Amino acid sequence: MMIGKSLDRIREYLEGHGASYTLKRLGQKAAQQMLGTYERRRKREAASAEELHAQRQHQPDAGLISVVIPVYNTDPGMLNALLDSLEAQTYEQFEAVLFDGASTRAETADVLEARCKKEPRFRPVRGEENKGISGNTNEAVRFAEGEYIALCDHDDLLSPDALWRVADCIARKQPDMIYSDEDRITEGGRKHMDPHYKPDYCPDNLVSDNYICHLTVIRKAVLEAAGGLRSGFDGSQDHDLFLRVTEQTDRIEHLPYVLYSWREVFSSKSHTELYTCLENGCRAAAEHETRLGRKAEAVPVNKEIRLWYDIPEDASVEALVHGESEEECRECLGELAFRTDWPNLTGSILVAEEDGRIPLINEAARTSKADYLLLLDARVTEMNRYFIREMLMYAQRDDVAGVTGVLTDQKKRITHGGFALGMAHTAQCVNEGMYVTAGGWHDMMNKVHNVSAVSLCCLMVKRANWLDLDEGYQGGLAAADLGMRQRRTGKWFVFTPHAQAQRTPCALLLSGEERNARDNARFETAWGTDIHDPCYSSRFGKKKANYQF
C-alpha cells in the first residue's frame, strides 16, 4: 500500500517537474534516507549540549508561552513523542494546552491522563465534541493563559531549543508573529529529511503558498483580533489565519533555525484531500486580497494558487527598449506589440552600448507620461501573450517596486528569475540554468514570489514608484543597487512565472561569475560584503543561487 502511494507521488511529480529534476530530487531523497546526508547536517546545525545547558541557565524575560495542541484520537506513540519534546524544552516558562475533541480512542485519553499527572505544565481540556482541527485549536486558545500562542499539531516534534529561541526573540524584539524553519520526520519517527529553509516574511510568497507553516507563534491579542482559525478552511486553516494576521501587523520575525519537525503521515488531510486544501487556500488568498482593497480571483493551476487581479484596461504602458542598434530595438518593440495583448502600449528606443544605457534609461523614465514603464533589453524575444498583463497585475500595487517575468534560453533553461543578493559574486540569478518546467525548490519557479532585485533586461514598474538608477554603475549591478535602495522604502520586487520570454545569458543578467570590477567595488563600498537577502535563506550556499546546501 505504502509503495503504491509512493509510486503515485513519483509519477505525479514527474508530470509536473520533468524527468531531469525528478531524478535529481529522487537522488537527494535517497541520499537523505539511506546515506543520512541531512541527518548529519541537522546535527551540525542543531544546538549543542553546551548551548542547551547555557540556555537553561539563562532564561529570557518573555513571560508565559502557551503551546496549543488540538488532540483527537492521536496515536499514543506520536503523542508521547510530542510531549517528550516539550518536556525537553530549555525554556521553562510555558504551558501546553491539550484540547481533546472527545477522542473515542482509549489509548489517547490514557496518555493524556498519565502524562498530565506527572507534568504540571501540561493542561488537558476535554471537549464534548470533536470540532475539527480549527475548532479544537480555538478552544485550546480560549483556555491558554500566555501572552503568546505557539501553534502545534498533535503528532509533530519541537527541537529542545524551540521555545527558548522564541522567548529570546520576544524579549529582544517584542514581535506579534514569529516563525521558524522546519523539516519533516518519517511517520515512524526514525529519520529527519527535507529541511525547509525559509525566507524572511515575504507577502507574495505567503499569498501563493503557506511557506510559514511551523513553528509559528502569535501574540494572543493579535490572534484574537484576526478572528482565530476558521473551520471552513480546514486543510488550509493555518494559511488563512496567517494571511489575516499579516493584515493586523507587520511585526513579523523569522528564526532561521529548524525548530519544528512535521511528521509525514499519509492519512493526513494534506495528502488525502489535496485539492480541497488547495481550493480552500485559493479562497483564503482571494478574500485576503479583497480585504486589502485589491479585487482578485484565485484559482488552482497545477497545484498552485494563481491570482488574477482586476486591472484598469486604460492603463498606459511605455516600453523602454534598450539595445546596441536601432534595428534590434525596433524588432523587439514590434515583436512585443505583435505578441502581447495590451492595447495601450507605446515604445521608446534607447540605443547605446551596454555600459552606457543607464543614463538613457533614467532620462526616458523621468520624461515618460505613461502610467507604467517596461524596461526591456532589445534581445528579449518570444514573449507570451500575457507578458504585459501578468506584470501589470502586480506593478499596479503601491507597495511594489518592480516586477519581472521569467527569461529562458532557447532550450527553456532559466537565464533570469530575479536576483539573490549577498552571494559570492555579489548577485546571482536565481536557479540559472535550471529547466523552467522543473519548478525547483518548493516549486518556487511556478509560484509568484518576492525577490530582492531584478534585472534591467525585464522590469515593469509603476512610473510613480520609479527610482532613478545610480549612473555610477555601468552594468547589471545597477539593478542590485536599486534593489537595496528600494528595500529602504519598504517596497517589494515581485517575480511572476506567468510572464515568459527568451533572452540568452548576458552581462545585464549577471550570468555566470564575471562582474564588472568597477561596479563591484562601487556596490561593496555602498553596501558592504555581508548582505542579508530577506528573500533567500542564508542557509544555502553562496556560490550559486540554486537552493543548494
Strand pairing class (122-126; 94-100): parallel
Residue 419 or 21, more confident? 419
Residue 2 or 541, more confident? 541
Please give the pLDDT value at position 6: 58
Residue 549 contacts by C-beta under 8 Å, 6 or more apart in sequence?
41, 539, 540, 541
Work out the pLDDT band at 55, boundaries 50, 70, 90: very high
Please give the pLDDT value at position 272: 56
The number of residues making up the chain comes to 549
Among 499, 293, 509, smallest CA distance to 392 is for 499
Please give the pLDDT value at position 117: 94
Identify the residue whose cell numbers are 501587523.
249
Instruction: Evaluate whether the domain defined by 317-527 bears CATH number 3.90.550.10.
Output: yes
Q: pLDDT digit string (tens) for 100-142?
A: 999 999 999 999 999 999 999 999 999 999 999 999 999 999 9
Q: What average pLDDT score do residues 9-23 get?
A: 61
Strands, E assignment, 284-433: 296-301, 304-309, 317-323, 345-351, 372-377, 400-408, 414-416, 419-423, 426-429
Q: pLDDT digit string (tens) for 286-331?
A: 999 999 999 999 999 888 899 999 999 899 999 999 999 999 999 9
Please give the pLDDT value at position 268: 53
Please give the pLDDT value at position 5: 55
Own/partner long-range contacts of 111-117 (Cβ < 8 Å, ≥24 apart): 111/74, 111/76, 111/79, 111/80, 111/83, 112/71, 112/79, 115/80, 115/83
Least confident of 20-24, 81-85, 447-451: 20-24
Q: pLDDT digit string (tens) for 171-220?
A: 999 999 999 999 999 888 788 889 999 999 999 999 999 999 999 999 99
Q: pLDDT digit string (tens) for 484-531?
A: 999 999 999 999 999 999 999 999 999 888 899 999 999 999 999 999
- Indicate if the pLDDT at residue 399 is higher than 90: yes
- Indicate if the pLDDT at residue 2 is higher than 70: no
CB 95 within 8 A of CB 170: no
- Indicate if the pLDDT at residue 4 is higher than 60: no
Q: pLDDT digit string (tens) for 256-276?
A: 999 999 998 765 555 557 788
Q: Which amino acid is at 166?
A: V
pTM for the whole structure: 0.92
- Indicate if the pLDDT at residue 458 is higher than 60: yes
Among 458, 285, 296, 280, smallest CA distance to 381 is for 458
C-alpha cell at 179: 516563525
Please give the pLDDT value at position 273: 72
Work out the pLDDT band at 411, boundaries 50, 70, 90: very high
Please give the pLDDT value at position 248: 97
Please give the pLDDT value at position 27: 62
Please give the pLDDT value at position 187: 82
Portion of the chain with pLDDT greater than 90, in percent: 82
- Cα distance between residue 323 and residue 327, in whole Å: 9
- Cα distance between residue 46 and residue 257, in whole Å: 8
- Cα distance between residue 70 and residue 97, in whole Å: 8
Please give the pLDDT value at position 394: 97
Same fold, 59-266 and 317-527: yes
- Indicate if the pLDDT at residue 477 is higher than 70: yes
Q: Report CA Rg, the chain.
A: 25
Work out the pLDDT band at 46, boundaries 50, 70, 90: very high
Please give the pLDDT value at position 313: 87
Please give the pLDDT value at position 8: 59
C-alpha cell at 138: 480555538
CB 512 within 8 A of CB 396: no
Residue 2 or 128, more confident? 128
Q: What average pLDDT score do residues 356-366 get?
A: 95
CB 134 within 8 A of CB 234: yes
Q: Which CATH class is domain 59-266?
A: alpha beta
Q: What average pLDDT score do residues 85-94 get?
A: 98
CB 71 within 8 A of CB 154: yes
Mean pLDDT of the chain: 92
Among 233, 440, 207, 436, smallest CA distance to 307 is for 207
Domain definitions of the chain by residue range: 1-35, 59-266, 317-527
Q: Which amino acid is at 12?
A: E
